[in-house]
Amino acid sequence: MTSDHPKVNYGKTGVLIINLGTPDSTSWLDIRKYLKEFLSDRRVIEVNPLIWQVILNLFILTFRPSKTAKAYKEIWMKDKNMSPLRFFTESQAQKLSKKIGNEKLIVDFAMRYGNPSIKSKINQLHEKGCENLIILPLYPQYAAATTATVCDETYRTLMNMRWQPNLKIIPHYESEPLYIDAIKNSIVKKINEINWKPDLIIASYHGIPKKYFEKGDPYHCYCHKTTRLISEKYTDIKIMTTFQSRFGPQEWLQPYTDKTFEALPKEGKKNILVICPGFASDCVETLEEISIQGKESFIASGGENFEMIPCLNDNEDHITLFKHLISKNL
pLDDT of residue 4: 72
Close Cβ partners of 329 (under 8 Å, ≥ 6 residues apart): 134, 168, 170
Output the CA torsion sign for 135, 136, 137, 140: positive
- All structural domains of the chain, each given as residue ranges with its CATH number in brackets, are 12-173+318-327 (3.40.50.1400), 177-308 (3.40.50.1400)
- pTM of the predicted protein model: 0.96
The mean per-residue pLDDT over the stretch 144-150 comes to 98
Percent of the chain with pLDDT over 90: 96
The confidence band for 10, taking pLDDT boundaries of 50, 70 and 90, is confident
175-200 residue pLDDT tens: 999 999 999 999 999 999 999 999 99
Residue (of 270, 269, 290, 271) closest to 279 by Cα position: 290
User: What DSSP string runs through 51-100?
Assistant: HHHHHIIIIIHHHHHHHHHHHHHHH-BTTTTB-HHHHHHHHHHHHHHHHH
Give 2: exposed, middle or buried? Use CB within 10 Å, 0-12, 13-18, 19+.
exposed
| CA–CA dist 39, 132 (Å, integer) | 31
Q: Angle, to 10 degrees, between the axis of helix 177-193 and the axis of helix 316-327?
A: 180
Contact 182, 316 (CB under 8 A): no
Query: Alpha-carbon distance 257 to 319, whole Å?
Result: 28
pLDDT at position 5 is: 74
- Read off the pLDDT of residues 187-236 as tens digits, 9 standing for 90 and up: 999 999 999 999 999 999 999 999 999 999 999 999 999 999 999 999 99
253: nearest Cα among 214, 282, 283: 214
Give the pLDDT score at 211: 98
Average pLDDT for 108-127: 98
d(CA 102, CA 105): 5
pLDDT at 8: 77
> How many CB atoms neighbour CB 141 within 10 A?
23
